[in-house]
Amino acid sequence: MIRVTDTINLDEREISEEFVRSSGPGGQNVNKVSTAVELRFSVAGSPSLPEEVRVRLIKLAGKRVTSEGILVIDAQRYRTQLRNRQDAIQRLVDLIRKAAEKPRLRRRTKPPAGARELRLETKQKRSQIKKQRRNVFLSHM
């Protein structure tokens, strides 16, 4: 069991991992050894996640979630399978923790009266400046 929060625990069987060759620098090793990890977690089919967390996780993960509801995390930061595997699992846990936080409700507020007055005064001043820039048409010529 992977402990995410006090109420959410993931079963290791819900996570599938595939080791692939990583891109980027690394010399000959990068072409021979599959050290990168592609972690897959079914967000849509997971019994461990409450519905509200599931919805927020899908929204938070964005393009990392497939159309079938599977979250894909690629980890190739390190040069060993073990470190990349730990990194991928940690990133999954962090993502779920972030999704588990309930967003604060935004309370609509009105701007203060002083701010409204100041805004209108500024507009008036700006208007006067622009009026003074205008060409004066001389009718007595």
Residue 15 to residue 102: CA distance in whole angstroms: 24
Residue 140 lies in a domain: no
Residue 115 lies in a domain: no
pLDDT surpasses 70 at 139: no
Counting the structural domains of the chain, the total is 1
Residue 61 lies in a domain: yes
Buried/exposed code over 110-121 (b: 16+ C-beta within 10 A; e: otherwise): eeeeeeeeeeee
Which residues have a Cβ under 8 Å from the Cβ of 37 and sit 6 or more positions away?
17, 18, 19, 20, 74, 75, 76, 81, 84, 85, 87, 88
Determine the pLDDT at residue 128.
92
Averaged pLDDT score across all residues of the chain: 81
Residue 108 lies in a domain: no
Residue 63 lies in a domain: yes
**pLDDT band at residue 73, thresholds of 50, 70 and 90?**
confident
pLDDT surpasses 90 at 113: yes
Give CA 28 to chain center in angstroms: 35
Determine the pLDDT at residue 46.
76
Residue 107 lies in a domain: no
Residue 136 lies in a domain: no
Given a contact cutoff of 8 angstroms between Cβ atoms, the answer to whether 84 and 37 are in contact is yes
CA nearest neighbour of 69 among 40, 27, 48: 40
Q: What is the CATH number of the domain that holds 93?
A: 3.30.160.20
23-37 average pLDDT score: 70
Residue 34 lies in a domain: yes
pLDDT surpasses 80 at 48: no
Domain membership of residue 61 as a residue range? 2-100
